[in-house]
Structure 1
Amino acid sequence: MGNKAKSLNLLGLAMRAGQLVTGEEGVLKEIRGNKAQLVLIATDAGASTHKRIQDKTTYYEIPFYDGFTQAEISHAIGRSRTTIAVMDAGFAKKLKELLQSEG
């Protein structure tokens, strides 16, 4: 199993553990509150959504990843979403490790 598949499985686990916030408004709220540990946005999200999330994560210095499609994210967490915030530091750390070693 590749790191991308492991990352998506970990997202599903984080969702079941209640450690994800999904949806653009919820994610923006967690970014502004400086509670999000990692933010993921679908590569096929709208340009304005993508820019808004990326600008906020840059300003608040929160790690940002945009390598999954909406279909991959939705399948992993069981809901149709384009934007996710990982709230738990442990899940975020493991995800970042998997995503960095993917390439």
Structure 2
Amino acid sequence: MKPNKVFSLLGLATRAGRTASGEFMTEKSVKNKTAALVIVGTDASANTKKNFRDMCSFYHVPYYEYGTKEELGHAMGKEMRASLAVTDAGFAKTLNRYLETEMKETEGNEWQK
């Protein structure tokens, strides 16, 4: 899969009101159990990545490191975003499939689960 499929779907989910972005809102949606999937930019700080990796593991939410903060923000039509949560199960399922397929194709070179 091409990265633009993931970014296009993120834009669609955002326009549908099915995402929460920014560290505070992403954390809030994970803890409120409304997050179906979390994506953190590959260029986010090590502390941010660890925080969300651990939180998602605890709350059993799929976690991915994908794209840069700028790419994630651009896909959502906003400023740079280090993290975002997808709150719709349908969008999350499709994104999960795209991300898993891309992970197999790139074998974890650019990002990791």
TM-score of the two chains, using structure 2 as the length reference: 0.86
Q: TM-score, normalised by structure 1?
A: 0.94
Gaps of 5+ in 1: none
Match of 1:101, SS state, is helix
Q: Which residue of 2 aligns with 1:94?
A: 94
Letter in 2 for 1:87: T
Of structures 1 and 2, the one scoring higher in RCO (CA 8 A, sep 6+) is 1
CA distance in 2, matches of 1:3, 1:56: 28
- 1:61-83 Cα distance to aligned partner (Å, 9 max, x none): 10001021112101101112110
Give 1:51 deviation, angstroms: 0.9
- Corresponding residue of 2:51: 52
Within-5 A mapping of 1:6-85? 6-79=5-78, 80-85=80-85
Pairwise CA RMSD: 0.9
* Structure 2 unpaired stretches of 5+: 106-113
Distance across 1 between alignment mates of 2:74 and 2:13: 13
| Native 8 Å contact 1:22 1:81 kept in 2 | yes
- Deviation digits for residues 32-91 of structure 1, max 9, x if unmatched? 111100000000001111111111001111000102111210110111211000000000
- Whole-Å separation in 2 of the counterparts to 1:23 and 1:71: 12
Identity within the alignment, %: 41
Cα distance in 1 for partners of 2:92, 2:50 equals 22
Aligned residues: 102
